[in-house]
A = this chain, B = another copy of it.
Amino acid sequence: MDAIETVIERYFAAWNEADAPVREALIAQALVDDGRYCDPLSDVEGHAGFSKMVEGVHAQLPGHRVQRTSPIDRHHDQVRFEWEIVSPEGTVAITGVDYAELGSDGRLRSVSGFFGTGVPEEAAA
């Protein structure tokens, strides 16, 4: 498993970790210290900000899991990968794509999530 695969595995593990100290340890392996994460519903910075945001998503979507559904597509320091959020019953609740920039140490420096793996027709700027 190469470095970027490992970083992104830790990132998804962090998304799915209910135990806050374990989650924060995973986040520290996935995101640079002042890393930013944003999506249509969130815009947070740093490990604590990311951890608290994940806690909020767990509260809103109890028992759901986030999982990667595509290969990691990379060029230069840029990556993208698709994902889905699955309910405890196995229903896909949301699909999306993350675009990320890597920091010089290979951890994620900035992650921007969008809902829908392609741009939805009704998307409006």
A114 touches B40 (CB 8 A): no
* Identical copies of this chain, number: 2
**Residues of A within 8 A of B (CB-CB), count:** 34
A85 at the interface (CB under 8 A from B): no
Whether A112 and B124, one on each chain, are in contact in the complex, defined by CB atoms closer than 8 angstroms, is no
Q: Can you sample 19 A-B contacts with CB below 8 Å?
A: A2-B125, A5-B125, A39-B75, A43-B76, A70-B118, A70-B119, A71-B119, A71-B122, A71-B123, A71-B125, A72-B119, A73-B116, A73-B120, A74-B123, A75-B114, A78-B99, A78-B112, A78-B114, A117-B118
B-binding residues in A (CB < 8 A)? 2, 4-5, 38-40, 43, 70-76, 78-82, 97, 99, 101, 112, 114, 116-125
